[in-house]
């Protein structure tokens, strides 16, 4: 059990709609996330993926069932601050997380609120900015940065708290392709090089292929899970859920249907290009 950072057991979450009726956003979700994993969560709007993520650091509390963070139940409000130091969250809009007029002051905001000594705050700010490759921008005004740079600063602010797990709720939804690449590259590096546990919620399937494991949600339930190849090789099943498989997987599927002999597990552009070259 020591390698488990997040675990849910029959987790349910209900909320009232405008008519006072209870809507079941999560329906008996059971999932285990291990230390050092990169887990992507995908699903259409309203599938429950963001609701699930908000339970991971006690922004939402279970209506029924359990959510444990490093063995601590999020429903125990006495453990709330310990849980939020273990699991840091990054949201869609970085402007909503940036609170200071200077980059390094913004990154220092979290540790200052935790009462971390000044010298340790300086070390944490330096380390966090280096981790997201933003050291050269430490004295810049955040509002002058690009969207991708702002999101990396938001990530640095979370890293300065020294969490065990980073949860990102559609962090590239508001970014252009360059910004998306910057953020995904940063998150992948934190996972692979520093062993940071990552939970990555996205509606961009091309981003989910970088995960170790993919969870597919629909109507408040996890309906499939597996490696990216296991999930995205099933192009028709993904489409039936209202999702689009990565472009490479979809193109390979169409080419196979036209009689071209290609591997069944192609999901990246590089794999598709290599397979096409070898088929000639």
CB 134 within 8 Å of CB 103: yes
253 class by beta-carbon count within 10 Å (0-12 exposed, 13-18 middle, 19+ buried): buried
* pLDDT tens per residue across span 112-151: 998 999 999 999 999 999 999 999 999 999 999 999 999 9
Side by side, the strands of the sheet bearing 72-73 are 22-34, 4-16, 64-69, 72-73
* pLDDT tens per residue across span 39-49: 999 999 999 99
- CA neighbor of 65 nearest in space, from 57, 54, 55: 55
* pLDDT tens per residue across span 219-256: 999 999 999 999 999 999 999 999 989 999 999 999 99
Query: How big is the chain, counted in residues?
Result: 280
pLDDT beyond 90 at 18: no
State pTM to two decimals. 0.92
pLDDT beyond 90 at 196: yes
Residue-averaged pLDDT of the chain: 93
* pLDDT tens per residue across span 52-80: 999 999 999 999 999 999 999 999 878 88
The CA angle 93-98-104, to the nearest 5 degrees, is: 140
Average pLDDT over residues 162-187: 93
If one counts every other C-beta atom within 10 angstroms of the C-beta of residue 36, the result is 17
Residue carrying the six token digits 């999702």: 243
Residue ranges of domains in the chain, CATH in brackets: 35-60+79-228 (3.40.50.300)
pLDDT of 280: 64
Integer-rounded Cα radius of gyration of the chain:
20
pLDDT of 1: 58
In the chain, pLDDT over 90 holds for what percent of residues? Answer: 83
The CA angle 250-269-242, to the nearest 5 degrees, is: 30
């Amino acid at each position: 059990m020591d390698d488990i950072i997040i675990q849910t057991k029959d987790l349910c979450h209900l909320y009232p709609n405008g008519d006072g009726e209870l809507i079941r956003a999560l329906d008996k979700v059971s999932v285990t996330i291990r230390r050092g994993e990169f887990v992507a969560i995908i699903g259409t709007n309203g599938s429950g993926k963001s609701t699930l993520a908000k339970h991971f650091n006690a922004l939402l509390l279970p209506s029924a069932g359990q959510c444990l963070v490093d063995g601590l139940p999020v429903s125990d409000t006495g453990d709330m601050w310990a849980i939020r130091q273990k699991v840091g969250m990054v949201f869609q809009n970085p402007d909503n997380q940036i609170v200071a007029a200077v980059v390094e002051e913004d990154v220092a905001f979290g540790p200052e609120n935790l009462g971390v000594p000044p010298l340790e705050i300086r070390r944490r700010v330096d380390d966090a900015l280096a981790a997201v490759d933003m050291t050269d921008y430490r004295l810049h005004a955040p509002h002058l940065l690009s969207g991708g740079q702002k999101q990396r600063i938001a990530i640095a602010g979370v890293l300065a708290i020294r969490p065990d797990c980073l949860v990102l709720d559609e962090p590239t939804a508001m970014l252009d392709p360059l910004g998306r690449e910057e953020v995904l590259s940063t998150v992948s590096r934190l996972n692979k090089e520093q062993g940071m546990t990552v939970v990555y919620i996205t509606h961009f399937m091309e981003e989910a292929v970088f995960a170790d494991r993919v969870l597919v949600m629909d109507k408040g339930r996890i309906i499939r899970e597996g490696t990216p190849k296991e999930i995205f090789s099933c192009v028709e099943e993904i489409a039936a859920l209202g999702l689009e498989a990565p472009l490479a997987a979809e193109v390979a599927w169409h080419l196979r249907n036209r009689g071209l002999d290609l591997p069944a597990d192609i999901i990246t552009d590089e794999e598709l290009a290599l397979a096409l070259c070898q088929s000639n």
